[in-house]
Chains A and B, each alone.
Chain A
Amino acid sequence: MISIENVSKWYGDFQVLANCTSKVDKGEVVVVCGPSGSGKSTLIKCVNGLEPVQRGTITVEGTEVTAKRTNLTKLRSRIGMVFQHFELYPHMSVRENLCLGQQKVLGRSRDEANAKAEALIDRVDMLAHIEKFPGQLSGGQQQRVAISRALAMDPIAMLFDEPTSALDPEMINEVLDVMVELAQDGMTMMVVTHEMGFARKVADRVVFMDAGAIVEDRETEAFFGNPESDRAKEFLSKILNH
């Protein structure tokens, strides 16, 4: 469904992505991990064209994201994205956050959008907060709303960019639970995260990045049980020893 081929990207002289190749099949969950500054967030932002690439091609469901002529707006409306800092529209209630895209992008009626919003918000146990504004919610609650907002568009795939990195430790699980459920429902997901427990539990494959390059791209069990590269071994030994 998502295919990344020989993608390279530079910020000025600095190369942030070096010849990255990977793919995510339909219904697959792929976790992208690696040290800070390894380019994993940049890579995921290239998938829906939020960041342009200078070389290589990215294709989503047969649409070439990297082609100049591609209607990115249309493509993005079919891919959900969740951000590290939630990025809910602060001037809108939870309900309006979920309805905006449905009505303005998908052209759904107010009633239709509302029904969908309520159903999704109920699924993440936030129905009591549906009229509240993002600033009145905790980080975990905001992130659950953000996931619902992305789902309201009936996406064919979901991208997560460090969805739990900005959360207090006690709120991480409530967000991960939602993501696990989503994965078990068969959603195609590409997840940048440091949550190795989550990766072990639901990921089909793990992509390990370092210095802009994809160092390993393997089945989850193989990655955790027997990493090939020294860099991945070192990374795992550092984050799994606690």
Chain B
Amino acid sequence: MNYNWNWGVLFEEQYLDWLISGVGWTFAVALSAWVIALIVGIMIGVGRTLPTKPIAHICAAYVELFRNVPLLVQLFLWYFVMPEVVSDDLGRWMKRDMPNPEFVTAVIGLGLYTASRVAEQVRAGINAVGGGLVSAAYAGGLSTAQTYRFVLLPIAFRLIVPPLTSEFLTIFKNSSLALTIGLLELTAQSQQIAEYTFQGFEAYTAATVIYVVIALGATLISHILEKHTRIPGYVGKG
């Protein structure tokens, strides 16, 4: 194989700037989408466990809809189809005047998709706490809201730290799909460097290493979190 290795290309000013800007957008998309995913996901996940049947059904429908349509298709729907189906004025605004349309679309699409997965984990966590504790909380005079606030959620969140970490890593990796709607995040920038310099190995290796470092960092934080929130003497459903 005749390939001229040139790792130095990654540190040339222009390409290094591209990489850094790519990392910046990756973080921006992933973290913003994560905020949406957590807020919406917790609401939907809690909603699925509520005794009020209509709410539970609506939340179940949300999960099935967003979880079962491929993320790439969802991004295309938000980016290309959404402006056409809303009112003319809003559609025009979305196409012409909305600031950072790729970024906003990626955040919404990725956030709402990941919310469906977070919701399932929140639901699983709440169900894992068990009916006995819920009965005890109700018997002690707590309202449904108080039971969730003081008993169910604090325990459920501790139980789902590991799967939520995995979801957090996935949102970083999934943010690379935003390149298909034109957002110059890490993967897109690496691709661009490869095209400009013909140093594809170096460019994608850089992307790989950066993704792995982000993932390892997140895993480390989650371990610390898990250790910090551990309940003494509690291993799960008693």
Interface set of A (CB-CB < 8 Å, partner B): 45, 48, 50, 72-74, 76-81, 83, 85-91, 100-101, 104-106, 132-137, 149-150, 153, 159
B150 in contact with A100 (CB, 8 Å): yes
Of A73, A80, A87, A135, which contacts B231 at CB under 8 A?
A135
Assuming the contacts A89-B133, A90-B155, A91-B154, asked whether A73 and B233 have C-beta atoms less than 8 A apart, the reply is no
Q: Does B158 make an interface contact (CB < 8 A)?
A: yes
A89 in contact with B151 (CB, 8 Å): yes
| Chain B: interface size category | 20 to 34
Residues of B within 8 A of A74 (CB): 141
B140 in contact with A101 (CB, 8 Å): yes
Min CB distance B59 to A, Å, is 23
A50 in contact with B234 (CB, 8 Å): no
Q: Does B238 make an interface contact (CB < 8 A)?
A: yes
Interface of B (DSSP majority class): helix
Q: Does B142 make an interface contact (CB < 8 A)?
A: yes
Min CB distance B141 to A, Å, is 3
Q: Does B136 make an interface contact (CB < 8 A)?
A: yes
B234 in contact with A83 (CB, 8 Å): no
A91 in contact with B155 (CB, 8 Å): yes
B142 in contact with A83 (CB, 8 Å): no
Of A48, A101, A132, A135, which contacts B142 at CB under 8 A?
A101
Residues of A within 8 A of B151 (CB): 89
A83 in contact with B135 (CB, 8 Å): yes
B234 in contact with A87 (CB, 8 Å): no
CA distance A87 to B232 in the complex (A): 16
CA distance A89 to B138 in the complex (A): 12
In the A-B complex, the 4 residue pairs with the smallest Cβ-Cβ separation, listed nearest first, are A135-B233, A77-B141, A87-B136, A81-B139
A73 in contact with B141 (CB, 8 Å): yes
A159, closest chain B residue (CB): B139
Min CB distance A210 to B, Å, is 25
B132 in contact with A50 (CB, 8 Å): no
Residues of B within 8 A of A83 (CB): 132, 135-136, 139
Q: Does B143 make an interface contact (CB < 8 A)?
A: yes
Assuming the contacts A90-B238, A91-B154, asked whether A73 and B142 have C-beta atoms less than 8 A apart, the reply is yes
CA distance A101 to B147 in the complex (A): 10
Min CB distance B74 to A, Å, is 36
CA distance A100 to B136 in the complex (A): 12
B154 in contact with A77 (CB, 8 Å): no
A76 in contact with B233 (CB, 8 Å): no
Of B139, B150, B238, which contacts A48 at CB under 8 A?
B139
A135, closest chain B residue (CB): B233
15 contacts between A and B (CB under 8 A): A73-B142, A76-B141, A78-B141, A81-B139, A90-B133, A91-B155, A91-B231, A100-B140, A105-B141, A106-B141, A133-B232, A133-B233, A135-B232, A153-B140, A159-B139
Residues of A within 8 A of B137 (CB): 89
B142 in contact with A50 (CB, 8 Å): no
Min CB distance A223 to B, Å, is 28
Residues of A within 8 A of B135 (CB): 45, 50, 83, 87
A105 in contact with B142 (CB, 8 Å): yes
CA distance A104 to B147 in the complex (A): 11
B155 in contact with A149 (CB, 8 Å): no
A87 in contact with B233 (CB, 8 Å): no
Min CB distance A68 to B, Å, is 15
CA distance A90 to B235 in the complex (A): 10
Q: Does B205 make an interface contact (CB < 8 A)?
A: no
Residues of B within 8 A of A85 (CB): 132, 238
CA distance A77 to B143 in the complex (A): 10
A153 in contact with B232 (CB, 8 Å): no
Min CB distance A72 to B, Å, is 8
Assuming the contacts A90-B231, A104-B150, A136-B233, asked whether A81 and B136 have C-beta atoms less than 8 A apart, the reply is yes
Of A45, A80, A81, A91, which contacts B234 at CB under 8 A?
A91
